[in-house]
Structure 1
């Protein structure tokens, strides 16, 4: 017993009792420094102290000295050998240190890996021609989302370029279209032509590099025509800067690079139409009234929402928002995120979230306080965004957009002003989607979770057929 080390067990025992090291030391009649040495396995546990622990905390001494490290180490070594952890794999000493100092974290990591393997096997059993490599490969959308997220959805170089261009082409908001059109013609010899929807064959904008002509569909309203010209100007004048940004990103796929350039050009267009300092000042003074912001800068509701997610300049930050856009089937068609909101990462198909309700009230902003299964709380607003419509078939091609922030920032938004933040009933309990949501007794559940079994009792009928 003189060489028994119980650091992790002692630390867990203390944390369960919500004690400090000093409080535990006082209860055991030893110094706080000695408790610290025991927890870090720098001192072994004596028989006398083991009996004191058992008596003081009413626990079985066998549970204190039970050492599960060898089994956990073996499991952890098997996990890190998986091909998905290619590269700089931790060595044995690092793995032992992780178990000694964070055993609960290691256990949860191993459990998470087990869930990953089980889920992957279920998908494989359902059949796939691409194999595990195809399943684990990241889509272009995911790669680009992660790239923007890694940069906090803020690109200082593009902001400076947009500000420089606005100074060079100073004008009133309603003259921007003419200014951009003249800039393309005078500086680059590029003409702008407006074409019928039939001529454009489903395209909204087409830049013919050989003919030096930008073709814009008549389906685009004025604010989107302006946005498309600013987008093309970025591709023409700032291609080197776009290449430099993506070169440092590690993105190698041709498709992902092309998509990334498109999104960066969109970022520049928004920065040009909505200059950072002026836009942030307007947002703050209007308490983030998006309709007022849209009117001030002559942009669409969706464009203003998207721009709000980029207000992350060091020393001049706005409310950190996430942005999500979905179609009527719940498919995510655009997402940007500067928060910890998981829905912006994995989807938005929870029927409890009113991003879907927005389709029933077109053009109306719907505020909602939401709570995720892990207890995180957010404030969101949802509203429809119309797509270009030029005929009977395209008249109802609406999407729904949601903008949200962490609860601590909600008081800065006018949309939350009428709510009592202390009333727990205002929070809607939502999830990522039914396949991943662990909530029980949810009347909206449509699928069995892939990583857990819900309780089922043949003698009782619950809210859904998946549990009782």
Structure 2
């Protein structure tokens, strides 16, 4: 496999304040070879990579690490904005931009994010009235999502920590809860106490350093009680690992950092309860039967689904999925992504996704084939999940989770058995109504921003936004 490092080599030379001739002399190669490497007209050899490590102290993995897949998906998603409807670059041009001008591509993505934030701020100010103070910083969930996606939703350090969690012991699924309580008491001096709902209304878990105890609400079911205990142990025992990962996140605001630490601890808890190798073997052999896997590992359906998005270890990868969780109003409350599918950051998910209709059939898998505006196709399946309800007067806390993958992987998915693209309906969808270019969609909730389609007062379209 050829490896090209042009832009990174050029940046390294600039940081070292060297000419191409000076770098060539330091590496023991010709100036013309350095020139060709920087232009990506030659692939780098292993001896040159080793020489770069020796001379400049750079880890070769930093030079050859390929994060272009996620960036390419981001670029393709951004360019679906109707703003770029005319003169939209094709896939070859986008790959060329990432290869030869990655910094320019990154600046373009940041500029578009700023444009979206400014647009939403203007819309917020307009709805709040003249003189309203509307400041809309990027939500912590969005910054954390971007951090996880940068890492392809896989953190090797946490996986290694999880693999050594039990110190080589085998703990049966039905013994884990007692083993965790013993560990908290004997190793960390913490008592686990189960509290009535009335004692901690609106709270499911609390870790009190002063009282040296972890309090769990009776509203939690058994899998989530176990999950919360591992989460707390991860926060305490692996603080250094979490701190190290946080230092690379680029997050500076307290809300974002706190949210990121929580999600990293959740990642660790899932890795402990569903060990990478055993989970991958089970998920592949069952053809991604998440009800079966949840039972096998003593976790919830949602936890089993979420874990599948993290199977991105080199040499042992699972099917790349995106994960989406919505409430009954369509608000996206959690998202993780290991695919090219563009998940909504602003507003709700596309109403044509059947994850919304899964509320009509609680607990049943609903599946569909969908097509994005760029013609990419995905297989998506969804199911409702129930969250703890604290009192009989509360509404049912029911959410829906959706998992999706590129249609090239459907042979590995049991939920897709009996369906092929040639004999099934493919539903055209968008990211969300705000930037969806599908003018005549009968589910459109509002006019797409930056579109200025003329309104024909003599004609009524499928929605009030089409004429």
> Under TM normalisation by the shorter chain, which class is it?
0.7 to 0.9
Matches of 1:118 and 1:156, distance apart in 2: 38
Partner of 1:427: 426
Structure 1 residues 273 and 375 mapped into 2: Cα distance closer, same or farther (>3 Å)? same
TM superposition score normalised by structure 2: 0.73
Contact 1:324 1:344 in 2 (8 A): no
Larger Rg: 1
1:180-191 alignment runs, 5 A limit: 180-191=180-191
Partner of 2:223: 223
1:453 aligned to 2:452? yes
Q: Mind listing any 5+ residue stretches in structure 2 that lack a counterpart?
A: 1-96
Matches of 1:131 and 1:371, distance apart in 2: 39
Q: Structure 1 or 2: larger helix share?
A: 1
Please give the secondary structure, in 2, of the residue aligned with 1:141: helix
Contact 1:443 1:463 in 2 (8 A): yes
Please give the secondary structure, in 2, of the residue aligned with 1:418: coil
Contact 1:337 1:344 in 2 (8 A): no
Structure with more contact order per residue of length (Cα contacts < 8 Å, sep ≥ 6): 2
Partner of 1:301: 301
Matches of 1:121 and 1:165, distance apart in 2: 49
Moved more, 257-266 or 445-454: 445-454
Partner of 1:68: none
**CA RMSD, 1 decimal:** 2.6
Structure 1 residues 222 and 312 mapped into 2: Cα distance closer, same or farther (>3 Å)? same
Shift of 1:393: 2.5
- Deviations along 1:196-255, whole A, 9 cap, x unmatched? 001012110011111110000000000000000000110110011111110121111111
Matches of 2:345 and 2:407, distance apart in 1: 18
Matches of 1:261 and 1:408, distance apart in 2: 34
Please give the secondary structure, in 2, of the residue aligned with 1:304: helix
Partner of 1:443: 442
Partner of 2:145: 145
Matches of 2:249 and 2:226, distance apart in 1: 29
- Deviations along 1:72-131, whole A, 9 cap, x unmatched? xxxxxxxxxxxxxxxxxxxxxxxxxx9xx99xx99xx79979976777655554458786
- Deviations along 1:336-368, whole A, 9 cap, x unmatched? 111121125445432211111111111011011
Shift of 1:455: 4.3
Matches of 1:118 and 1:194, distance apart in 2: 47
Contact 2:371 2:377 in 1 (8 A): yes
Partner of 1:379: 379
Contact 1:169 1:179 in 2 (8 A): no
TM superposition score normalised by structure 1: 0.72
Shift of 1:166: 2.9
Partner of 1:44: none
Shift of 1:451: 1.4
Contact 1:348 1:433 in 2 (8 A): yes
Matches of 1:451 and 1:339, distance apart in 2: 27
